[in-house]
Amino acid sequence: MRCSQREVFVKREEPTNPEWGKPPSQRTADEYIRHSFVILDKPRGPSSHEVAAWVKKILGVERAGHAGTLDPKVSGVLPIAVAEGTKVLMALSRSDKVYVAVAKFHGDVDEERLRAVLREFQGEIYQKPPLRSAVKRQLRTRRVFSLELLELEGRYAVIKMHVEAGTYARKIIHDIGEVLGVGANMRELRRVAVTCFTEDEAVTLQDVADAYYIWKKYGDDTYLRSVLLPIEEIARHLPKIWVRDSAVDAVCHGAPLAAPGISKFEVPFSKGDIVAMFTLKGELVGIGRALVDSEEVKKMERGAVVRTDRVVMRRGTYPAMWKKGQRAAKT
């Protein structure tokens, strides 16, 4: 699964003052850790909460949080944000997932019939969460983007599923077995992607521990910077808006991003989409919801464009030029 490529629309060419902020690559190792994001390959056994706690302990930070819980028996891609980065975990709140499941059928299954049933389950489906789940058991709809039979041997099948966030893979396997009339249960599950973050770039807990040790012991943060990603990467899959220096601090104070504060932005995006706001140096300021679609933004000279929901940048990183405007308006 890849992130979609978007075009950049330049609303106004704008320089950025080198005295304020810094590109993510120029952060010190301490700053880098506090604004980092880990695509972790969670092992089977511990819970997602335990794994996040271990990352927090290894890196010596006060908090770390994960997106998209994996059950203890499930392995695979678990995005973890560190310290300041936890403020924007909602960037992954609605991300689709890709799993590879091993299903065991309770009777013999014809391959062509199985493939036909898998096609029936693609699209919008109804699901009630299983008995042991963290959410209320009520009927709801979820979208299944694709179900692919990778292998069938005897009564065991390997199935790859690309699904909407909040879809229960175990329930899909159970329901497929019911439709086939033989029953089925899931024997193993691995998450291979969260939106465009795949297992190919995932690292282990040992990688994180080794990278931190090498930096502390030898002062070399090269490995650390390859294992941890800058928090900006958490918005890899989101439409991006680059904010003029003069508007950055207002957004940091929670103000909506207005049209005059925009330098350029990626298209397309729709009203209600989650978008990411960046400085012209490539620093993540925060994320929010688009109040208008991208085509309208092209024509706007004033008015709010994004409702600011989460801010990761510290106030005062850029000068508070918006306060000067307020004082001028009062005089």
**pLDDT the model gives residue 330:** 43
Residue-wise pLDDT tens digits, 255-275: 999 999 999 999 999 999 999
Residue-wise pLDDT tens digits, 207-239: 999 999 999 999 999 999 999 999 999 999 999
What are the residues whose beta carbons fall under 8 Å from the beta carbon of 57, sequence distance 6 or more? none
How confident is the model over 120-127, as a mean pLDDT?
Answer: 92
CATH superfamily, domain at 7-22+237-329: PUA domain (2.30.130.10)
Residue-wise pLDDT tens digits, 6-28: 999 999 999 999 999 999 999 99
Q: What architecture does CATH give domain 96-194? A: 2-Layer Sandwich (3.30)
Residue 142 to residues 56, 123, 132, 255, Cα–Cα distance (Å): 33, 8, 19, 34
Q: Is the pLDDT of residue 331 over 90?
A: no
**pLDDT the model gives residue 48:** 96
Residue-wise pLDDT tens digits, 247-258: 999 999 999 999
**pLDDT the model gives residue 128:** 74
How confident is the model over 278-297, as a mean pLDDT?
Answer: 98
Q: Where does the chain hold its CATH 3.30.70.3190 domain(s)?
A: 96-194
Q: What are phi and psi of 218, to 5 degrees?
A: -115, -5
The residue behind tokens 């993510």 is 24
Q: Give the model's confidence band at 307: pLDDT under 50 very low, under 70 low, under 90 confident, else very high.
A: very high
**pLDDT the model gives residue 4:** 67
Q: Residue 188: beta bridge partners?
A: 102
Which is more confident, 306 or 330?
306
How confident is the model over 39-50, as a mean pLDDT?
Answer: 97
Q: Is the pLDDT of residue 29 over 70?
A: yes
Catalytic (active site) residue 71: yes
Q: Is the pLDDT of residue 97 over 60?
A: yes
> Is 96 within 8 Å of 163 (Cβ atoms)?
yes
Choosing from 30, 71, 221, 245, the catalytic residue is: 71
**pLDDT the model gives residue 328:** 39
Distance CA 243, CA 260 (A): 9
Which is more confident, 136 or 306?
306
How confident is the model over 174-194, as a mean pLDDT?
Answer: 97
> pLDDT > 70: what percent of the chain?
93
Q: Give the model's confidence band at 322: pLDDT under 50 very low, under 70 low, under 90 confident, else very high.
A: low
**pLDDT the model gives residue 138:** 72
Q: Where does the chain hold its CATH 2.30.130.10 domain(s)?
A: 7-22+237-329
**pLDDT the model gives residue 137:** 60
Q: Give the model's confidence band at 329: pLDDT under 50 very low, under 70 low, under 90 confident, else very high.
A: very low
The residue behind tokens 């003069």 is 246
**pLDDT the model gives residue 94:** 85
**pLDDT the model gives residue 93:** 81
